[in-house]
Amino acid sequence: MDSSKNTEESAKNTAESAKETAQSAKETAQSAAKDTAESVKNTAQSAKETAQSAAKDTTESVKQTAQSAKDNVESAAKNTVESAKNAVDNLLGDIIPEQPPIEPVSDAHVLKSRLEWGEPALTILDVRDRNTYNQGHIMGAMPFPVDTLVDRAKSSLDKARDIYVYGDSDEQASQAAQSLKSAGFEHVSQLKGGLAAWKEIGGPTEGIVESQTPAGADDYNVVDRLKDHAEKQQ
């Protein structure tokens, strides 16, 4: 009987020991799994941060390279345009005679000469009333009646542009020119004699009445003027 009791006690102790061993193994396995998971998580986070940093550096490098390429292209294009402009200016300088500075008062011949050479940097203003302008005016002249002259000029014209002014009389044209100068326009000239003087030298005109006598074929003929000038230079 004592032997049987001892056997039971031994079995009980063995089972208890096995249980403790199993519990210890379980805890060890859980701890190892937890450590492994944490390590994997840390490794993954580190890999993610490394990849993000590399991607950011690559993106920044590509961005800088693209900006540098853009700057180089823009600089090259600007230099090319500037070089072409200088070449054209030099070529035209040898062909087209330089015009003198605009005078406070100009006669019709001066204006006609500039127009025949095809100079774009000038504006002709007709300061008469609109109905009179519509009847007939210098070809290319713009209607700027006296009562709205300065306001319209400020809103639509460059103050450094050459401006020729004519009206019903030289007095009206002179007053209009002075008003523009007082408003800050730097190069203003009164066209002496106005439309009548212009027509006397065969200057081209347009308008309701003037259209009945159309301008000649030679009006503002730049090609013929260039050819004539080239022949005179030989």
Question: Each residue of 53-109: pLDDT tens digit?
Answer: 877 878 887 788 888 888 887 887 888 787 777 766 665 555 555 666 789 999 999
In a shared domain, residues 67 and 137 = no
Of residues 226 and 110, the one with the higher pLDDT is: 110
| Structural domain includes residue 100 | no
Domain count for the chain, please give it: 2
Query: For the residues 176-191, what does the mean pLDDT come to?
Result: 96
Of residues 70 and 172, the one with the higher pLDDT is: 172
Give the pLDDT score at 169.
96
What is the domain range of residue 41?
Answer: 1-95
In a shared domain, residues 206 and 119 = yes
- Whether the per-residue pLDDT at 46 is higher than 60: the answer is yes
In a shared domain, residues 226 and 134 = yes
Percentage of the chain modeled with pLDDT above 70: 81
Contacts 24+ apart (CB under 8 A), 192-195: 192/105, 192/106, 192/107, 192/108, 193/107, 193/108, 194/166, 194/167, 194/168, 194/169, 194/170, 195/126, 195/136, 195/137, 195/138, 195/166
Question: Each residue of 4-30: pLDDT tens digit?
Answer: 767 777 777 777 777 778 787 778 878
In a shared domain, residues 33 and 117 = no
- Whether the per-residue pLDDT at 225 is higher than 60: the answer is no
Nearest to 55 by CA among 67, 65, 47: 47
- Whether the per-residue pLDDT at 233 is higher than 50: the answer is yes
If you write DSSP's letter for every residue of 167-179 in order, what string do you get?
Answer: -SSHHHHHHHHHH
Give the pLDDT score at 44.
78
Question: Each residue of 154-168: pLDDT tens digit?
Answer: 999 999 999 999 999
Predicted confidence band of residue 226 (pLDDT cuts 50, 70, 90): low
User: Which of the listed residues 77, 95, 113 is the one where a domain comes to its end?
Assistant: 95
Give the pLDDT score at 171.
97
Of residues 17 and 146, the one with the higher pLDDT is: 146
| Structural domain includes residue 156 | yes
- Whether the per-residue pLDDT at 191 is higher than 70: the answer is yes
In a shared domain, residues 85 and 141 = no
- Whether the per-residue pLDDT at 216 is higher than 60: the answer is no
User: Which of the listed residues 60, 95, 130 is the one where a domain comes to its end?
Assistant: 95
- Whether the per-residue pLDDT at 189 is higher than 70: the answer is yes
- Whether the per-residue pLDDT at 148 is higher than 70: the answer is yes
Give the pLDDT score at 96.
56
